[in-house]
Amino acid sequence: MTLGIPQKSNFINVRVVPFEECKNDEKFGLPNDPSTVEHLDAKDPLFICAKGFEGSSSCQGDSGGGLFCFSEDGQSVHLLGPLHGTTSTYCDVRLILYLRKQIIN
């Protein structure tokens, strides 16, 4: 019996972009979301904003997947936070929103 667990991990490369890009994007509607509005102008934003490179982005159903980065020496991997949402509907290159890990600890 298969439990639906993937046999291989899927990943995409993203670049972190200024939080203002996600904050001001109308598709996210962050200023209209009561759960996020109080965090938008915080010294340490609740979210990390990222963008996939050409041909890669997160898709619907990817929420909860992690944003990871390598240490400077490349010997270890660190979780920065889980995927919160994306402006991508058809897995095209769009903005991706991650929760900052220290908020969920």
Domain that holds residue 92: 14-34+41-104
Task: Give me the pLDDT at residue 73, please.
Answer: 92
CATH at 98? 2.40.10.10
Q: For the chain, how many structural domains are there in total?
A: 1
Task: Give me the pLDDT at residue 105, please.
Answer: 46
Three-state SS for 98?
Answer: strand
Between 28 and 70, the higher pLDDT residue: 70
Between 91 and 82, the higher pLDDT residue: 82
Residue 7 domain-assigned (yes or no): no
Residue 69 domain-assigned (yes or no): yes
pLDDT digits (tens, 9 = 90+) for 13-41: 888 888 888 888 877 777 777 777 777 77
Helix ranges, the chain (H): 19-23, 101-104
Tell me 93's DSSP state: S
Residue 33 burial (CB count, 10 A): 11
